[in-house]
Amino acid sequence: MAADLYTAKVRDSRAYLSLLLTPLQWVVDLPSRFAGEVSDVVVDRSLLLKENARLKSESLYLERKVQQNAALRQENDRLRELVGGSLRVDEEVQLVELIGVNPDPFQHQIIIDRGSENQVVMGLPVLDAGGVMGQVTELSHYTSRVMLITDARHALPVEVNRSGFRSIALGKGELDELELEHVPDTADIRTGDLIVTSGLGGRFPRGYPVAKVAEVVRDPGQQFAKVIIKPSALLDKSRHLLLVRMPAPAQNAEAVSAEAEVLQ
């Protein structure tokens, strides 16, 4: 120890001896380092697996949110179309939602979430963003049943928007098709014409889109032409609808009598 303290040669010898022992120290330390690296690899792989699982779950969650946002965006677009449609009519309208469909294939009916407690009355027209869907035929306190215009029992007074020719649109029991009744072979009607409500009968106001003419078949041997029309409303897809509130018939009658008295 004294020589190491006071003699430089001993310190140099110790330095050379440390140099010679370095490979041995590296070899002795190798298992420990290898074990540490293996442990790091195992830990890193475990962390990566956990991170991967977490990212997958987050990805699925975000995909679900994207789907919800897409559905909300489409619903928002439909609501905007409905609001735009309500601005084009003079009557009072109410936004309602479809909550049920009649499973009977021979009865085209839907159920909406408004009833007598919401001042709904029999016969009110129901529309979607495209056109007329049907009318209220049954009431309960908080729901109503609507018969669609394609129901085989439904008839709707209509007219050709281009020429003013009037007819009756009859349901055929098919969601994508109606037929005009008793159309003379010489009637001014052709494929692509817009069919709208005529206002006759007082149930539907005039000018609501109903359908477009899809086919006109004229047989020289027949008195009437066969006219097939396609509904403008999305009868099997629309969920948010407009309920049109019509003036009471009694009020209309009073207004007509008052106008007649004024004219006299």
With CA atoms as reference, report the closest residue to 207 among 90, 119, 129.
90
In total, how many domains does the chain have? 3
- What single-letter amino acid sits at 176? D
Q: Which CATH number is 100's domain given?
A: 2.40.10.340
For residues 245 and 120, give the distance between their C-alpha atoms in angstroms, rounded to a whole number. Answer: 8
In a domain, 223, yes or no: yes
Let me know whether 164 and 220 are in one domain.
yes
In a domain, 105, yes or no: yes
pLDDT tens-digit series, residues 81-133: 776 665 555 568 888 999 999 988 889 999 999 999 998 999 999 998 888 99
Which of 63, 81, 112 is the last residue in one of the domains? 63
Q: Which CATH number is 213's domain given?
A: 2.40.10.350
For residues 136 and 150, give the distance between their C-alpha atoms in angstroms, rounded to a whole number. Answer: 14
For residue 205, what pLDDT is reported?
85
Exposure on the CB side of residue 226, measured as CA atoms within 13 A = 7
Could you tell me the pLDDT band of residue 251, with boundaries at 50, 70 and 90? very low
CA atoms 78, 207, 204, 137: torsion sign: negative
Q: What global pTM score does this model have? A: 0.66
What range defines the domain where residue 136 resides?
93-147
CA atoms 219, 188, 172, 103: torsion sign: positive
For residues 87 and 112, give the distance between their C-alpha atoms in angstroms, rounded to a whole number. Answer: 22
Which of 147, 182, 217 is the last residue in one of the domains? 147
Q: How far is CA 202 from CA 9, 180, 249, 253, in A?
A: 123, 19, 8, 11
